Chain A
Amino acid sequence: MIGVYRELEGSMRLAAHVLRRCWVLKLPPVAEEFARQIYFTGASATAGIVVRGALVGTLIIAYVIEVLDADAALAVRILLWVVLREIGPLIAAVLVIQRSGTAVSTELALMKISGELASLRHLRIDPQDYLVVPRVLGIALANAALTVYVQFIAVGGGMLLSALVIHVSFFEMAGSFFELASPLDLVYAVGKSLLFGAAIGVIACYYGLNPPGNSINAVPKAAISAVTQSTLAVMLLNVVFAYLVYGSALFGLFTASQ
């Protein structure tokens, strides 16, 4: 219990540090780390995203049409509710946890064990400024971009497949989709993704900077902790968002009747 509290407190401190020190991004070496992180998390993950996004969109549409015997309007609504608001951010987050969460925690744990963090301190460079701030912000931004990408691929792929299977005009479905969809849906999904990405980045950095030991065996343990805890954090954040949107707090702003 104390360990959980310590980890939570450490992660919160790290998150506060990122917020307080985000201005260090203007320093050239930190900006390079930021660009590297965005490339690694965002750009180099796009091929996998295309396949996964198209598969998810296709699966949802096929399931809705075959099992629920739905018409075009319901299929579009399901796409809107499930893919745009929920599945898109979650898929992107899971992909980022798999790729960047493990990579960041492993890299930082190795740097700690091999003395590179101490080397940075000897150069009067705060490892949290140089390593954590660009990674957390880079992962948050890349995760939001990946989410939009997933949504685009999954919704577009899903509507295309629907048009082929139930013989409804693609443009009719697209028109129906854009009529139902609100810009707030996108804002909601992107806001959620930014928070998911930041949480993944903070947790991966925390476990990377605090491996359970100084031997090489601590590295996989740090990676496992980072993956499990960031998955848990994303799920919890999703519950909070779902409550805010579908619960009583903001009920009416996003309603099922849209």
Chain B
Amino acid sequence: MNAVPTAAIALGYEPADDAPRLEARIWVPAGGSHVVPAVSAALKAALLAAVLDFRPRRDARVVVLGAELEALDARARAAVRAQVAFLPANGGLISHLNAWENIALPLAYHAPRQMQGVAPRVYALLEPFAGDARALLARLPEEMTPFEKLLAGHARLMLGAPRLVLAEDLPRSLAPAERRQAQAFAAAYLAHCPQGTFVRLEDGHDAAD
């Protein structure tokens, strides 16, 4: 990572040499869709804690969107964090909100003025993947399939137009056709945000496994 200009890195995670369980390094250039293979649960937890919660290991070097997190003050970190979205395997939906409320939640919370005219955008995001977007939007997470939850989570992050998307590995419960559709989320994101970077963290095995 030292040889590459930091500005060209969308996501970098370099643990210390004495971190045996976290020996894998992650280095993702800015732009395009990338898959980081065999990410252990421990490494993923450390990476997400560092990037999403600003809790990097003291001995790890973390670069997000060209900026070293350690070197940033709180305001700059928050500005970087606002450009990062996370798509968990289960969609990360809130159980007491229906799909529409889940999708609109971050926008309504952080930028309520941008809510006007958001419904057509949501329909446009869902329609390539969902047969009946209107019916999907009215459903609670408990009434949705794993793919529909993932789709709602995808639509939610797309509304925020983040510069970096971290996505968990696709759930194994997806049918082959759904898996193909879910794999197309990266292309849909890049069509929407051409300058963005989509990173899928493929599941690996823990050292203890």
Spell out A's residues near B (CB within 8 Å): 27-30, 32, 107, 110-111, 114-116, 119-125, 130
In the complex, B194 has a CB within 8 A of chain A: no
Which of A27, A116, A121, A124 is the one whose CB lies under 8 Å from B95? A116
A28 touches B94 (CB 8 A): no
State the CA gap A200–B36 with chains docked (Å): 47
- Looking across the interface, which residue of chain B has its beta carbon closest to that of A130? B109
Contacts of B106 in A (CB 8 A): 123-125
Which residues of A sit under 8 angstroms from B86, Cβ to Cβ?
A: 122
Known A-B contacts A27-B109, A27-B112; A122 and B96 likewise in contact (beta carbons under 8 Å): no
Residues in B with CB closer than 8 Å to A124 are: 81-82, 106, 110
Task: Indicate if the CB atoms of B52 and A121 lie closer than 8 Å.
Answer: yes
**B contacts with A: majority SS:** helix
> Which B residues fall within an 8 A CB radius of A?
52-53, 81-82, 86, 88, 90, 92-96, 101, 105-106, 108-110, 112, 115, 156
With a cutoff of 8 Å between Cβ atoms, the chain B residues found around residue A116 in the complex are: 92-95
A23–B101 Cα distance when bound, in Å, is: 21
Which single member of A28, A122, A125 contacts B52 (CB below 8 Å)?
A122
Cα separation A123 to B52 with both chains bound (whole Å): 9
Establish whether residues A27 and B92, one from each chain, have CB atoms under 8 Å apart when the complex forms: no
Contacts of A120 in B (CB 8 A): 94
Knowing A28-B115, A124-B82, the reply to whether A119 touches B109 (Cβ < 8 A) is no
Contact A114 B95, beta carbon cutoff 8 Å: yes
A114 to B81: give the CA distance in the assembly, Å.
Answer: 24
**When the two chains form their complex, are residues A28 and B88 in contact, meaning their CB atoms are under 8 A apart?**
no
The reply to whether B108 and A27 form a contact with Cβ atoms under 8 Å apart is yes
